[in-house]
Structure 1
Amino acid sequence: MKFSDILRTAIHALRGNWMRSVLTSLGVIIGIAAVIVMVSVGQGTQAEIDKMVAGLGSQRLDISPGAGRGQGGARMSGSSFYTLTEGDVDAIRDEIPEVQYVAGALRGSTQVVYAENNWSTSWQGVQPDFFDINGWTIAEGEAFDAQDYSAAAKGVILGDTVRRELFGEDSGVGQTIRIGRVPFVVTGTLAAKGQGGFGQDQDDVMMVPLQTARRRLLGAMGLPPGAVMQVALTVADADDLGYAQGEVEALLRQRHRIGPGKEDDFSVRNISEIVATRTATTRLMSLLLGAVASISLIVGGIGIMNIMLVSVTERIREIGLRMAVGAGPTDVRRQFLAEAMLLSLIGGALGIVIGIAGALLVARFGDLPVALNGQVIALAAGFSIATGLFFGYYPARKASQLDPIEALRSQ
């Protein structure tokens, strides 16, 4: 038989009981749609997390003071908690050549006022490398110069949200604002970054020189002289990050006179480890979602096999007649395999359409990120074809092995 004859015969057989054909295809439709939606959600989530951790920097270390509790759970004093100093920053810069940028920082929150506009925001007291470490660029105005840092100048650089709340569409550069009770001159504004990976507004911030923050904004916090609340650094080569971390820890233990076996009074966070952990977790989640969705596809394939076996049983006499007029086992096998393939392909096509629509609806109305790509759709189409071939072969083979005489005797 020609391929066109086999196809025409298969279509005629499926149309003869179209409701059963539709219900049989439903399992494949649901399976393919589930694969597309689940895998798209998994890949979208992974892309979102990759974007979030990329903003943290894969060549960066963050150093924070210790846990702030002494032995027996007694809380340490404020002066003993802030164990990092500007001297530590200078030592890291001078003694560890792998470090590209390093900066200490102080931080706090306050009210900022310009004319009748009032806004509550956070401030950062920074050193020069802070902007390079965190990827901040100046949108308008100028960055701080060396004299601003050394003389504790009352200049401030505004994040985009603060600028918008105080000045609307104007830059505000050159204007005088009041931070707490202290007047500051706006020397520049930062380019907008938008929402951070944890949902925070990255632009709701102000930058002042570190010494300015220490003398004019900290108030009565009781920090030791020269203390900083955080130290951040980057290395030029990501391969040096692990080595640099070990060197930093050894240097700080030496400077802080921490003996062997004693607990560190600081903690070092390696961003690249967070990146690797989150990436592995998301990839595993994507595989899990795909596996769960594939179960629906297997169930749909079993449904096709079941219906095709029923069809063989119902059409034993028809098979006997075909063989009696010259059809061989190969022709019979191809006919039933074509019917199974048609069921699978029709279900696959409808499943792809429904899956794409479902993924788009999740992206539009749900809180989950979705990443649709052609590879997922091609994979779904391949699964559809494989389902028809795999689950349709056994019924087709069983039909081709029937004895023509016994088949004609069947009632």
Structure 2
Amino acid sequence: MNVTQAFKLALKSLRTSKMRSFLTMLGIIIGVGSVIIIISLGNGLTGMVEQQVAKFGVDQIMAYVWGRGDGSTMQMDPEEMYGFVESHPDVFTGVTPWVGAGQGVRLGSREFEKTGIYGVSEAMYRPETRTTLDGDTLASGRYLQYVDVAQRQNVCVIGAYLEQEAFQGDALGRTLSIRGVPYTVVGVLERSSEIMEEGRSDDRVYIPYENALQLAGSRTVTLYQLTAVSRDQAAEGKRLLTEMLMDRYQDSEAFYIETMQEQVVMINTMMGVAMAVLVAIAAISLLVGGIGIMNIMLVSVTERTREIGIRKSLGARRRDIRRQFLIEAGTTSAIGGLVGILFGCLVSMAIGSVVGGMLISGLGVTGVTFDAVPTLSSVVISFGVSVGIGMLFGYLPANKAAGLNPIDALRSE
């Protein structure tokens, strides 16, 4: 008997007892479907993170400088950081200090208690893309310029929430009060969140960092956001920055430096570990499905003992009988695997649309998509594993069938 005939017999056996065949495949269907769903959702989440990071740019370097923490002259002054960046034009393209100045925005008698005030420099903005280093897009007006920062002018760029709530969508050229000082709105950022609420990402005011330092009553800047010439140069920039700060403080605890690329790698690694654990849990269903196939094949061998005896008496060899039952087990698991793949793809797309919408809405981000689509490699591997499990767990029944004595088998009723 050749492979084609064995395959046709396997299909005939499955059609003979449809319900039993379906129940036998059920474990494989659930296992393969679960693996496809988990991988698809993981791919969707990874893609969403990568899209969000791409908005920021992977050429960025975040430097947290705490120094000795005693307010001594050893603290890093912004001018020193500017000088360091300018001395390496082949590595860095710019740097902006980040200064948090708390809250305190007013318009007339109305106070916006949760509006964050942040001090940055003109390097925070990329004119070629009209976006900030944080991925925000300039909707109207202009961003802070060098002259604003150098002369500490009382100008600001505000978020979409503040423009809508304070100025009913017409903020350019208008004035608001920041800690009792009037600031003129020169730019408005595009809405970046699905939900605009007080205190969220769209409820911010950006002013020159020197002004923010004055409001904060300090000369200490703990966060610098640098941009490298390219993604490849970001690692070199981190090395140079680390050397400079180590020479200054002689203490690795005095600062922390991280590139955006490192953040992406860390996030992907964490998600990879989580996905591996979930896939391993889902794979238990494949094990259960394999045991189900073994059980039903043992029953099939018992039911077809006389048939096996007849075939052996007509010249069938042990390997012919073994191959027939192995092909039958493999066919059962293969069909279960195909159904599981179809089931997993349909469910992952349905769940992905719901979960993706909830994630994007919950995180308050725009301009990103959540595509829960399985990769070709995951589909191929899942199908291969399902067939392999069927063959593996079907070997014992096939070997038992091949080892039957033809005379004893013919006596079976």
What TM-score, normalized to structure 1? Answer: 0.79
Q: Deviations over 1:261-299 (max 9, x none)?
A: 556644433443333333223223333333332232133
Check conservation: 2:39, 2:374, Cα contact below 8 A. no
Check conservation: 1:152, 1:211, Cα contact below 8 A. yes
| 1-structure distance, mates of 2:257, 2:98 | 15
| 2-structure distance, mates of 1:49, 1:147 | 36
| 2-structure distance, mates of 1:333, 1:267 | 64
2:229 is aligned with 1:236 = yes
The counterpart of 1:101, out of the listed 79, 94, 98, is 94
1:129 match: secondary structure: helix
| 1:190–1:25 CA distance, 2 compared to 1 (3 A) | same
Percent identical pairs in the alignment equals 32
Structure-2 residue corresponding to 1:372: 373
Structure-1 residue corresponding to 2:367: none
Structure-2 residue corresponding to 1:65: 65
| 1-structure distance, mates of 2:244, 2:67 | 19
2:269 is aligned with 1:277 = no
Q: Indicate the larger mover: 312-321 or 55-64.
A: 55-64
Structure-2 residue corresponding to 1:157: 157
Structure-1 residue corresponding to 2:83: 91
Paired residue total = 389
Q: Indicate the larger mover: 8-17 or 119-128.
A: 8-17
| 2-structure distance, mates of 1:330, 1:246 | 64
| 2-structure distance, mates of 1:285, 1:105 | 33
| 2-structure distance, mates of 1:147, 1:54 | 29
| 1-structure distance, mates of 2:405, 2:246 | 87
Structure-2 residue corresponding to 1:72: none
2:101 match: secondary structure: strand
Equivalent residue runs for 1:159-308 within 5 Å: 159-168=159-168, 170-194=169-193, 201-215=200-214, 218=215, 221-224=216-219, 227-252=220-245, 258=249, 261=250, 265-308=254-297
Check conservation: 2:68, 2:75, Cα contact below 8 A. no
Q: Deviations over 1:102-141 (max 9, x none)?
A: 1223222324344676533112222111223444442211
| CA shift for structure 1 position 408 | 0.8
Amino acid at match of 1:128: E
Check conservation: 1:64, 1:84, Cα contact below 8 A. no
| 1-structure distance, mates of 2:23, 2:392 | 19
Q: Indicate the larger mover: 118-127 or 269-278.
A: 269-278
What TM-score, normalized to structure 2? Answer: 0.79
Structure-2 residue corresponding to 1:386: 388
Amino acid at match of 2:340: G
Structure-1 residue corresponding to 2:408: 406
1:96 match: secondary structure: coil
Supply the RMSD in Å over aligned alpha carbons.
3.5
Gaps of 5+ in 2: 127-132, 360-369
| 1:409–1:293 CA distance, 2 compared to 1 (3 A) | same
Check conservation: 2:121, 2:208, Cα contact below 8 A. yes
| 1:364–1:262 CA distance, 2 compared to 1 (3 A) | closer
Check conservation: 1:104, 1:127, Cα contact below 8 A. yes
Check conservation: 1:60, 1:232, Cα contact below 8 A. yes
| CA shift for structure 1 position 100 | 1.3
Amino acid at match of 2:44: G
| 1:82–1:213 CA distance, 2 compared to 1 (3 A) | farther
Amino acid at match of 2:115: T
Structure-2 residue corresponding to 1:73: none
| 1-structure distance, mates of 2:41, 2:138 | 36
Amino acid at match of 1:251: M
Q: Indicate the larger mover: 301-310 or 318-327.
A: 318-327
| 1:346–1:409 CA distance, 2 compared to 1 (3 A) | same
2:28 is aligned with 1:28 = yes
